[in-house]
Chains A and B, each alone.
Chain A
């Protein structure tokens, strides 16, 4: 018996491959990208009955070796052993959805034609039974010429048998009885039909639950109401549940800072630890609660099969700007925070759609802009009403949200005709069957998202925060001089100011947007520092800043500042995540350049128009 070091799961999308992967490997998984592409590589360790470890790869779901997407190309190349840097798997575990046999057997034949040692996992046999299907695994094994193991991944049924079969798997290529010819697609479909028929023992005419549920969830009237109701709950949860955790994490980091400040002697090292390192940690972990809660809902929607329905309902609207329904949830998530939004674009199969979505995600008004908007609006917009129940301040805030959405739509249209040009991405997708998500799979998924964020984005955010600290701390201020003014950042602001002055910015504003790169809301505390508002408490500082702005900023200047924050990529974390998700600096650079250009133009237009209107 030859030794096996690698195995790979292959199968159609929605065959329950990932649940099977979780059941076979447990939580010990490594998530990365395949070399050179942004296709997620999931690997884990499977232990054979002999105790020998096998590296198990969860290949992207695929309908055919005639790849229609980068994911499918990866699957094809890895299975065939021609993917650079990936060893050809010693054993293939072909996953078939028992209830969808005829369809899944088409791709299965392509895989079996390769003649590699293969084991078939006849997955989700419980769902097939629910649909009234009784199957004969032995007949299937006979027809395919490879071992067939019935499994229910989500209930760990058949996992031990499957592991045994993997250990014993051997090549069937030399068996004359199962020599395969390279069939054409219609021939393969016909064969699939015959094999499926011979493997199905009985079939009741019981209706699948999908039709009934979809009749409600895809109903043109009720469907959208349910979708928006659900999204409302999600947003409530993100804002209501995340805040206490975020506050607690911030408080925890603050407490550690306090201890460090007390224990260590005053000096550069202490400043570095407290204002550099710990502040860096703080700015990373503060995003975690939002990311985890948002992803909890996204994963539930994906695992249950509802995500595809949401995409179906929203597809027509997204098509207006050249995107598909799959961009809807990532963009919506970006209203909480662009980071989980950009991470959620992994579910968009079309690479150009995905890139466009990543590039416009920062235009959705995220929660970090609110403190800035709140302070400036309170300072310069009078608390009057412009109609029954419509306050002017609220109207301005609403206009800022709309400006972001309209901006995103226009940018998407332009991008789809220029840099992400290509055949209309279309919208052809399977609506998977409904399934109850399993807690363990959700937990593994959440852990992976959180870990990816902490490790990949966290390191960049952390380094950037420390770099920012260096810029803000050196050289040291003379007594009586503000540190922000004296610092390198101050010098940068002086160089920057001539560029920003034409759009109505005063020097304090040019200065405030530099530390605000760590996170937008820092603009408020930076303004507090420049205006020497001396307050430890954030709320009191905000009040002080509001008063200063009301006294010192003209209305056009304040409006220009608001317009700037609608567009400007004032968030290193977002840029860091975009780098990871696009596998390089090219697209984050494009994003930063176009967003700053738009921010400048719109701040300018706002300032010039407001000035001309005599505001």
Chain B
């Protein structure tokens, strides 16, 4: 399943990221923030408008906002 359909609050692990489907700088930024294969994450908040975009992820001690379009490129499994 991709990250955008992951239920809020459910812990998950990133199994694959479609880097080619992301803009180069966005990929770099995600990697630098630690959003990469193997990372354990959870969706903690969702936006207000347009299909609850963007999403806030919990990653370790950090909260990171990404858009749904990025989340769609991230494949996760329940952890």
Which residues of A are at the interface with B, using a C-beta cutoff of 8 A? Answer: 63-64, 66-69, 99-100, 102-103, 106-107, 131, 185-186, 189, 208, 210-211, 214-215, 218, 220, 223-224, 308, 311-313, 315-317, 319, 325, 423-424, 426-431
Say how far A322's CB is from chain B's closest CB, in angstroms: 13
The yes or no answer to B20 lying at the interface (CB within 8 A) is no
A-B contact pairs, 29 of them (CB 8 A): A66-B28, A66-B32, A67-B28, A68-B25, A68-B28, A102-B61, A103-B33, A186-B38, A211-B44, A211-B58, A214-B56, A215-B45, A220-B46, A220-B48, A312-B54, A313-B48, A315-B47, A316-B54, A319-B50, A424-B69, A426-B23, A426-B26, A428-B26, A428-B64, A428-B70, A429-B64, A430-B62, A430-B64, A431-B63
Say how far B16's CB is from chain A's closest CB, in angstroms: 14
Question: Which residues from 33 to 64 on chain B have a C-beta closer than 8 Å to any C-beta of chain A?
Answer: 33-34, 36, 38, 44-50, 52-54, 56, 58-64
Say how far B58's CB is from chain A's closest CB, in angstroms: 8
Q: Which A residues are in CB contact (< 8 Å) with B63?
A: 210, 214, 430-431
Q: Please give me the residue from chain B that is nearest to A422 by CB atom.
A: B23
Q: How far is B26's CA from A316's CA once the two chains are assembled, in angstroms?
A: 17
Q: How far is B27's CA from A64's CA once the two chains are assembled, in angstroms?
A: 12
Known interface pairs A68-B28, A424-B23. Does A430 touch B33 (Cβ–Cβ under 8 Å)? Answer: yes
- Contact assessment for B62 and A185 in the assembled complex, using a CB-CB cutoff below 8 Å: no
Q: How far is B56's CA from A189's CA once the two chains are assembled, in angstroms?
A: 22
Contact of A312 among B34, B36, B47, B58 (CB under 8 A): B47
- Contact assessment for A100 and B48 in the assembled complex, using a CB-CB cutoff below 8 Å: no
Say how far A288's CB is from chain B's closest CB, in angstroms: 34
The yes or no answer to B10 lying at the interface (CB within 8 A) is no
Say how far B27's CB is from chain A's closest CB, in angstroms: 9
Q: How far is B58's CA from A211's CA once the two chains are assembled, in angstroms?
A: 9
Which residues of B are at the interface with A, using a C-beta cutoff of 8 A? Answer: 23-26, 28-34, 36, 38, 44-50, 52-54, 56, 58-67, 69-70
Q: How far is B23's CA from A223's CA once the two chains are assembled, in angstroms?
A: 30
- Contact assessment for A102 and B60 in the assembled complex, using a CB-CB cutoff below 8 Å: yes
Q: Please give me the residue from chain A that is nearest to B63 by CB atom.
A: A431
- Contact assessment for B66 and A428 in the assembled complex, using a CB-CB cutoff below 8 Å: yes
Known interface pairs A189-B34, A423-B24. Does A223 touch B61 (Cβ–Cβ under 8 Å)? Answer: no
- Contact assessment for A427 and B54 in the assembled complex, using a CB-CB cutoff below 8 Å: yes
Q: Which A residues are in CB contact (< 8 Å) with B24?
A: 423
- Contact assessment for B65 and A308 in the assembled complex, using a CB-CB cutoff below 8 Å: yes
Interface of A is mostly: helix
Q: How far is B56's CA from A311's CA once the two chains are assembled, in angstroms?
A: 12
Q: How far is B47's CA from A223's CA once the two chains are assembled, in angstroms?
A: 10
Known interface pairs A218-B56, A423-B25. Does A431 touch B34 (Cβ–Cβ under 8 Å)? Answer: no
| 9 residue pairs, one from A and one from B, having the closest CB atoms | A63-B32, A423-B23, A316-B49, A64-B32, A431-B63, A68-B28, A218-B45, A316-B50, A68-B25
Known interface pairs A63-B29, A106-B34, A313-B47. Does A100 touch B66 (Cβ–Cβ under 8 Å)? Answer: no
Q: How far is B63's CA from A470's CA once the two chains are assembled, in angstroms?
A: 57
Q: How far is B34's CA from A64's CA once the two chains are assembled, in angstroms?
A: 11
Say how far B53's CB is from chain A's closest CB, in angstroms: 5
- Contact assessment for A64 and B28 in the assembled complex, using a CB-CB cutoff below 8 Å: yes
Q: Which A residues are in CB contact (< 8 Å) with B61?
A: 99-100, 102-103, 131, 208
Total number of A-B contacts with CB less than 8 angstroms?
117
- Contact assessment for A316 and B32 in the assembled complex, using a CB-CB cutoff below 8 Å: no
Say how far B54's CB is from chain A's closest CB, in angstroms: 5
Known interface pairs A100-B62, A427-B65. Does A186 touch B36 (Cβ–Cβ under 8 Å)? Answer: yes
Q: Which A residues are in CB contact (< 8 Å) with B31?
A: 64, 66, 185
Q: How far is B65's CA from A64's CA once the two chains are assembled, in angstroms?
A: 18
Contact of B45 among A214, A316, A319, A428 (CB under 8 A): A214
Q: Which B residues are in CB contact (< 8 Å) with A215?
A: 45
Say how far A328's CB is from chain B's closest CB, in angstroms: 12
Q: Please give me the residue from chain B that is nearest to A67 by CB atom.
A: B28
Q: How far is B50's CA from A247's CA once the two chains are assembled, in angstroms?
A: 44
Q: How far is B32's CA from A64's CA once the two chains are assembled, in angstroms?
A: 6
Q: Which B residues are in CB contact (< 8 Å) with A220?
A: 46-48, 52
Q: Which B residues are in CB contact (< 8 Å) with A106?
A: 32, 34
Knowing that A63-B29, A214-B63 are A-B contacts, what are 10 other residue pairs whose CB atoms are under 8 Å apart, sorted by A's residue number?
A68-B29, A186-B36, A211-B58, A214-B45, A311-B65, A316-B53, A319-B53, A319-B67, A426-B26, A431-B65
Q: Please give me the residue from chain A that is nearest to B35 by CB atom.
A: A428
Q: Which A residues are in CB contact (< 8 Å) with B28?
A: 64, 66-68
Say how far B34's CB is from chain A's closest CB, in angstroms: 6
Q: Which A residues are in CB contact (< 8 Å) with B44?
A: 211, 214
- Contact assessment for A103 and B60 in the assembled complex, using a CB-CB cutoff below 8 Å: yes
Known interface pairs A63-B29, A185-B31, A423-B23. Does A312 touch B65 (Cβ–Cβ under 8 Å)? Answer: yes
Q: Which A residues are in CB contact (< 8 Å) with B36?
A: 185-186, 189
Q: Which A residues are in CB contact (< 8 Å) with B47?
A: 220, 312-313, 315-316
- Contact assessment for A315 and B25 in the assembled complex, using a CB-CB cutoff below 8 Å: no
Q: Please give me the residue from chain B that is nearest to A311 by CB atom.
A: B65
Q: How far is B23's CA from A208's CA once the two chains are assembled, in angstroms?
A: 33
Q: Which B residues are in CB contact (< 8 Å) with A316?
A: 47-50, 53-54
Q: Which B residues are in CB contact (< 8 Å) with A424?
A: 23, 69
Q: Which B residues are in CB contact (< 8 Å) with A208?
A: 61
Known interface pairs A214-B44, A316-B47. Does A426 touch B62 (Cβ–Cβ under 8 Å)? Answer: no
Q: How far is B1's CA from A530's CA once the two chains are assembled, in angstroms?
A: 71
Q: Which B residues are in CB contact (< 8 Å) with A214?
A: 44-45, 56, 63
Contact of B67 among A99, A427, A430 (CB under 8 A): A427
